[in-house]
Amino acid sequence: MQILLFFILGLIQGLCEFLPISSSGHLVLFSQIFNIEDSLFVSIILHVATLLAVCFVFKKEVLNLIIHPFSKESMTLVVATIPTCVIVLILMPLINLSFGGSFLAISFIISSIMLFFVQKLSKKTNERISYKHAFIMGIAQGFAVFPGISRSGTTISAGLMSGGDKMECAKFSFLMSVPIIILSLILEIVKIFIYGEIISINIPSIVCAFITAFIIGILSIKLMIKMTSKLDFKWFSFYLFFIAIVTLIIL
């Protein structure tokens, strides 16, 4: 039974991480319904699976960033990551609390409102990602660590409203998740080994969820890239409003 639950968690992560509907929000909601413990740790592990999916799909871009660490492309990721880290460190107590289900419905509603208005407020340009876009998207990513606030939706929206090209913003949004997920994993490892936090997770179950999230994540990224130019965020907005109501009823 537990393996089935974790398979569903992996499916949720793989599908939702690259759609603007908040994978962490859906993971927390599902974990609360079925009483799955250590939802923050599980969320980070599953985000690592989709991180690997990003690296697989964008292997040329990722390899280029590694080979040329001081190129403009690499520096834009650094510029995006710095404000994210600052915001996360400041808000860490609230973030930890939010993974228990607090604010989840409110966060879904915030994402819903944001996605409904983003295309009306976005600038119609074809600008490539600049340091300005990266910094603004980095700030957005910092606030999107709360479950229910879509990371991809928030960062792509921030990029569009600052004048970025839709396709460029989508690709950069996926890539900018790489350093922040790595840093989150390191932080969680520090908590486990230095502060003696106890994690009670069944290994076969988490492995099943990890593999599922990785495979579905690859398929979702490819689908999202194909859909991006024609994507209408308002449909995701309606879905998020619906799931916010469901969350209020259930939790």
pLDDT values of the chain reduced to their tens digit, one per residue, 251 residues: 678 888 998 999 898 888 888 988 998 888 888 887 656 677 778 888 999 999 999 999 999 988 998 999 899 999 999 999 999 999 988 888 888 787 899 999 999 999 998 877 776 666 788 999 999 999 999 999 899 999 988 999 899 888 888 888 888 998 998 898 888 878 777 776 776 655 666 788 889 999 999 999 999 888 888 777 677 788 899 999 999 999 998 87
- B/e letters for 183-202, b = 16+ CB within 10 Å, e = fewer, are ebbeebeeeeeeeeeeeeee
Residue 37 region by backbone torsions, left for phi larger than 0, else alpha for psi between -120 and 50, else beta: beta
Phi and psi at 125, nearest 5°, equal -135, 175
Which pLDDT value is given to residue 135?
96
Distance CA 170, CA 151 (A): 11
Which pLDDT value is given to residue 212?
95
Distance CA 25, CA 152 (A): 13
Which pLDDT value is given to residue 23?
86
Which pLDDT value is given to residue 200?
63
| pLDDT 10s digits, 82-114 | 999 999 999 988 888 888 787 899 999 999 999
Distance CA 230, CA 59 (A): 25
Distance CA 126, CA 168 (A): 9
CA atoms within a 13 Å half-sphere pointing along the CA-CB vector of 202:
12
pTM above threshold 0.85: yes
